[in-house]
Structure 1
Amino acid sequence: MSERPPHHGPDGRFRIPWPLVHPDRTRNGGVLRWQRERMMQKRAPDPRPEQLPPGTPEVARPRAAAEEVRITWIGHATFLVQMGGLNLLTDPHFSERASPFQFMGPRRFVPPAVDFDALPPIDAVLLSHDHYDHLDAPTVKRLHRKYGTALTWIAPLGHAEWLAGARIRHNVHDVDWWDSVELRGPAGPVSVTCAPAQHWTRRTLREFNNRLWGSFAIRSATRAVYFGGDSGYFRGYPEIGARLGPFDAVLMPIGAYDPRWFMAPAHMDPEEAVQSYREMGGGGVFIPMHWGTFRLTDEDPLEPPIRLHKAWEDSGLPPDDLRVLRHGDTVIL
């Protein structure tokens, strides 16, 4: 028998296999403490629509040129990545709320920046983990109805069973960390490699870490893009850069970080996102995500990019490599 990887627990669940940089205070009453603090503290108001003006998508239709990469931020962790002649969606979310219910739960500040029906033909979907702001069942079902077996699904271990429950059983790749899937593009193969992240999974009270979480490196013959998924800061980013880099674009989460005592193990703040980028090699454009779409935690929803700009400047990184997008903006490489 082969040795069990350290992130595979003996009970069949998954676990974080390294020492945490920030202590985990989510258990033993941590959730109740957070909710009590929320009731006692005044929070910044939700942003008004004019504070989040939309960008203008520059989507290639039906596909980008073989040597070109186009990355369009649709909102939260949803990107349309056009590279190697393929169209990929990351954590697609086109519903009104990030919730198991569409009548309650975190609601969008702004609509998806590219309408679902205006998407170019999608070849593959990358799912980082099962939380409702990343794995949106209505969107998954819409994609399946539209593309059927022509669509490839790539997700960390355990998600194939969930997708089968949504009647998606073909072209599903359930991958472990460091596993790769090769997609056939018109310009040659495009590889998608699942990489580590520091997070957790749960969709019901009875589930906890039944499914793995991860990030992804996407590489064509000439370009590479890293999608960070959802993660707290951990000391594995140098290894990701060494094994899968260098990257032409790095898509990193920068929001959902307050209160810090509670959120730090699962959500990095803007300063840690810059640190992670530097540890992966500090090359390529940095594109932030996971902010300005849903209110999930307690920081001012407009604060993350402000802190990101300062952290970037303090690190002495090239100003032109930081691309803070409006919803709908496209970066073209």
Structure 2
Amino acid sequence: MTNETVRNPYYQGPKTDHYNGTRFFNPGGIRPAGFRDLLKWQFGDRGTKWPSRIDSPFPNSKPESRLDAANLRVTMIGHASLLIQTAGLNILTDPVWSNRVSPFAFAGPKRFNPPGIAFDDLPPIDLVLVTHNHYDHLDVATLKKLQARHKAPIITPLGNDTIIRKAIPDAAITVTDWGDATRFMDRITIHTEPCHHWSARGSRDRRMALWAAFVIETPHGSIYHIGDTGFHEGINYRAAAEKHGGFRLAILPIGAYEPRWFMQGQHQNPDEAVQGMKLCNAAHAVGHHWGTFRLTNEPWDEPRAALARALSHHGVEVERFRAMHPGEWLDIPAL
């Protein structure tokens, strides 16, 4: 099909260096594998079976309501859902409290451990960041609950607002493109930055909503949050360091990377995450996107073990890059 015969249901706008008038793309990057490769993977070796339940050593975290402005604390909820407390604000990333990440409540990848923070134990939420529209990152059911309880504004890249507004018409959404900067409550600035990924909610909307990373700029150091990304030869990491000058904390995906022939363009592995930490000049990093939903072939705890090997190989102290369990929280030292 040509661009003229396909309609984008989420976004219409002018062509850019990462939007062709119908679909978004990664400049100079790798396109996601097609349906034939998906079938090859699905009917081939599916990897190691996970346990029926994976208990976190840090269950039932109950975060403080507010922290002092200079403090930076990160609490893992599960997968790519984290609570970031900084600048006196409470920020959620890609919030998912549902039991499955799927268009269906009865099928699809299920949760292997409960959220590290019970929904009712959340502090007041000031801001929600949604990086892209895959079901393990954009969970409409959770966003509805957050709207009812907290009415927190949402920042998300182009096109994802259409999906959210269909379910939550009164949501306060700021829609951003790569390179945009959004000032929030005169305390922080949210920069929307490139990452190497893709998007889809079904089989006919591939790459029709934008994906992004976020930089949370605060007076006490910046935070680089990536929901999903391929390594992309480190291009985006280098650009982030050049633009922002380094980070107090990088929040990086370290899971969902096997088999490499299928996943390498869209999901980095732990070794690439460590390389990315160094390239973006992050003082500390936390790893997410592992051990909660089985999406790919690696054993549930292999990302943590692979991260330890990568840190040793690249000469990075283990305390600087932690693979976080649900309910685990970390106070990040000042720069």
Give the alignment partner of residue 61 of structure 2, picking from 57, 76, 79. 57
Instruction: Please give the per-residue CA displacement for 1:127-151, whole angstroms capped at 9, x wherever unaligned.
Output: 0000000101110111111123xx2
Which range is displaced more, 197-206 or 285-294? Answer: 197-206
> What displacement does 1:225 show?
1.0
Secondary structure of the structure 2 residue equivalent to 1:268: coil
Map 1:105-116 → 2, pairs under 5 A: 105-116=108-119
Q: Is the contact between residue 287 and residue 324 of structure 1 (CA under 8 Å) also seen in structure 2? A: yes
TM-score, normalized by length of structure 1? 0.90
Give the equivalent residue in structure 1 for 2:7. Answer: none
> What displacement does 1:169 show?
4.2
Give the equivalent residue in structure 1 for 2:38. Answer: 31
Give the equivalent residue in structure 2 for 1:155. Answer: 156
Structure 1: tracts of 5 or more residues without a match: none
Give the equivalent residue in structure 1 for 2:181. Answer: 180
Give the alignment partner of residue 188 of structure 2, picking from 178, 187, 190. 190
Give the alignment partner of residue 86 of structure 2, picking from 75, 83, 88. 83
Q: Is the contact between residue 160 and residue 169 of structure 1 (CA under 8 Å) also seen in structure 2? A: no
Secondary structure of the structure 2 residue equivalent to 1:140: helix
> What displacement does 1:171 show?
2.6
Aligned CA distance change for structure 1 residues 49 and 208 (closer, same or farther; 3 Å): closer
Which range is displaced more, 191-200 or 240-249? Answer: 240-249
Instruction: Please give the per-residue CA displacement for 1:27-75, whole angstroms capped at 9, x wherever unaligned.
Output: 261111111213xx6x3231354664335636221x1111111110000
Alpha-carbon distance in structure 2 between the residues aligned to 1:37 and 1:3 = 41
Q: Is the contact between residue 163 and residue 169 of structure 1 (CA under 8 Å) also seen in structure 2? A: no
Q: Is the contact between residue 80 and residue 89 of structure 1 (CA under 8 Å) also seen in structure 2? A: yes
Give the equivalent residue in structure 2 for 1:46. Answer: 50
Give the equivalent residue in structure 1 for 2:228. Answer: 230
Give the equivalent residue in structure 2 for 1:18. Answer: 28
Matched-pair identity in %: 36
> What displacement does 1:325 show?
2.2
Q: Is the contact between residue 233 and residue 276 of structure 1 (CA under 8 Å) also seen in structure 2? A: yes
Map 1:1-333 → 2, pairs under 5 A: 4-9=15-20, 11-20=21-30, 26-27=33-34, 29-38=36-45, 43-47=47-51, 49=53, 52-55=56-59, 57=61, 59-61=63-65, 63-148=66-151, 151-184=152-185, 188-234=186-232, 235-281=235-281, 283-333=282-332
> What displacement does 1:319 show?
2.7
Question: Root-mean-square deviation (CA), in Å?
Answer: 1.9
Alpha-carbon distance in structure 2 between the residues aligned to 1:171 and 1:137 = 14
Alpha-carbon distance in structure 2 between the residues aligned to 1:31 and 1:271 = 24
Instruction: Please give the per-residue CA displacement for 1:86-143, whole angstroms capped at 9, x wherever unaligned.
Output: 1100000001111111111111110001001110000110000000001011101111
Which range is displaced more, 313-322 or 114-123? Answer: 313-322
> What displacement does 1:223 show?
2.1
Amino acid at match of 2:57: P
Alpha-carbon distance in structure 2 between the residues aligned to 1:16 and 1:181 = 22
Structure 2: tracts of 5 or more residues without a match: 1-12
> What displacement does 1:203 show?
0.5
Amino acid at match of 1:57: S
Amino acid at match of 2:37: G
Instruction: Please give the per-residue CA displacement for 1:184-226, whole angstroms capped at 9, x wherever unaligned.
Output: 1xxx511111110111111022212110000111111112111
Alpha-carbon distance in structure 1 between the residues aligned to 2:305 and 2:141 = 33
Paired residue total? 318
Amino acid at match of 1:183: F
Aligned CA distance change for structure 1 residues 30 and 112 (closer, same or farther; 3 Å): same
